[in-house]
Structure 1
Amino acid sequence: MEKLGPVTAHEWRTLRSLNQAYVDLRHEWEAACVQTDGLMVKLEVTEGYADPDRRYRHHLAALNELYRPAAAYERQASALTWRYASAAVALGMAVLDRLIGDRPPLAPELVEELATHEPPLGTLKEACDASYERLIAARADDHYGTEAKARENLIALLGAAEYNVEHTDTGGRRLNAVEIDACQLSVVSPDDQDPFWDNLLKPMLSLAESIPYAIARWLDRHGA
């Protein structure tokens, strides 16, 4: 049986399940990236020497047919990785924040809600801003400012994503500030553009992976 102190078994096991999910999904996404990158290089080379007569461009057509589903799979793997990593950050930060603030455990319904859905942009902004700042302050061991820089980078990237959402027509109109905070990046990202979470994925994965260790350190320091 885990020695969890003030962390409930439901909180911890949910975080562990999310961790297992995004770790496996990350491997799939990275493998998909390698495949699509390799196919893109082959396409570029083939386009360079393809016969200008369209009757003799079978090689180029074959590679294009192979690239399209590979790129679609990469995006799907990226979207799933983003969903589970961002959910792990939202839940993990909520658990850490209530530990730091000496508040009661999260209600099981809230744990399920945070774990089951991609968090809206406003929730992610809060988790990576004020909650992350309180985590750094509580640790008091960021001597080289590494965590502070990571937090600043995430805030900047979230700001860039927010800008992209703000300047994208959704249903023929622009979203207002309240709607932007309530939106999910995987839902509002246009299919014909790089996804709005693209630059956020790796730093969000790094933060998600660090949270269970931060919780364990907090428990250790407080004798749990």
Structure 2
Amino acid sequence: MRLPEFTASAPLTTVEMGAIRSLHHACNLLRAEWQTASTLVDRLTALQDTVEQFDQGAPPFQHHHDAVDAARHNAYMYERELGVSAWRYASAHAVLGITLLDRLVAGRPALTAAAVDELCEEPTLGQLRKALLIPAGHLLVTRPEETRHRADEDRQQLLRTLDIIRGSIRQLKENKPMSDQEAAACLLSENSPLGTDPMYDGVLGPLFDLAEQTLFEISWFLKHDVTLR
């Protein structure tokens, strides 16, 4: 996918633009690889079911069955690692993009290099939630009402899913549940242990979509906001 076109006079600094472009490329790579890995896991899971049903083999000759199990396990572990890496970049991309769009709309000064570097790191669940709480009606000021309404609905769905994830993370230690504040301060990548469903399930894909769309909204704003001309 091509990056949106930015005008030569766009009020984004070299650091801001370089960071958002770099995260965009990283997300494109990891999304494609994660989806490929997920497809491989699905295929091997189906093959595993078939082998268990029709080709179990008589002991001790279960090499086919064992090979499929090993392949499926390794593919699953790879998918989990890719998913966690993808989350780190997608969440950072989303927060940086929303922050940049918010500052452009509000007319605030450019971010410092240190602030940009910090925003390129994985945000806590609380930081991501705070960014998603910024209303689309505020950010998409040059878009029609229908577009703003649809974007707000997407954000609300993401927020609901994040609240479910935060609740799941709170209960990871049954003998000592986290407080809501402790869970909000967590990094998802450090709280998605094996033995549980990936914490990013149901939210990583929509988060990729939001990050990508936010980059285009920055470009759209720069082209259509009359206050920049």
| TM-score, reference length from structure 1 | 0.91
SS state at 2:161 partner:
helix
Residue pairs, 1:184-199, within 5 angstroms: 184-199=187-202
Cα distance in 2 for residues equivalent to 1:155 and 1:17 = 26
Which aligned pairs between 1:82-161 and structure 2 lie closer than 5 A? 82-115=87-120, 117-130=121-134, 132=136, 134-136=138-140, 138-143=141-146, 145-161=149-165
* Native 8 Å contact 1:142 1:148 kept in 2: no
Task: Mark the runs of 5 or more structure 2 residues left unpaired by the alignment.
Answer: 1-5
Residues 206 and 82 of structure 1: CA distance in aligned 2, closer, same or farther (over 3 Å):
same
Question: Shift in Å at residue 164 of structure 1?
Answer: 0.8
Aligned to 1:182: 185
Alpha-carbon distance in 1 for matches of 2:22, 2:80: 23
Is the 2:56–2:65 Cα contact (8 Å) retained in structure 1?
Answer: no
Specify the SS of the correspondent of 1:89.
Answer: helix
SS at match of 1:143: helix
Partner of 1:55: helix, strand, or coil? coil
Using a 3 Å threshold, how does the CA distance of structure 1 residues 187 and 26 change in structure 2: closer, same or farther?
A: same
Task: Identify the residue that residue 210 of structure 2 maps to in structure 1.
Answer: 207
Q: TM-score, normalised by structure 2?
A: 0.89
The whole-number CA distance in structure 2 between the counterparts of 1:183 and 1:216 is: 32
Q: Which runs of 4+ in 1 moved over 4 A?
A: none
Secondary structure at 2:195 match in 1: coil
**Aligned pairs, number:** 221
Amino acid at match of 1:184: L
For residues 78 and 38 of structure 1, what CA distance do their matches in structure 2 show? 18
How far has the Cα of 1:49 moved from its partner?
2.4
- Give the CA deviation at 1:2: 5.9
- Report sequence identity in percent: 30
Which is richer in helix?
1
Matched position secondary structure for 1:161? helix
The answer (yes or no) to whether the contact 1:97–1:131 under 8 Å persists in 2 is no
TM-superposed deviation, 1:142: 3.8
> 1:161–1:129: structure 2 CA closer, same or farther, 3 Å change rule?
same
CA separation in 1, counterparts of 2:128 and 2:137?
13
Contact persistence 1:93–1:131 (CA under 8 A): no
Give the superposed CA RMSD: 2.0
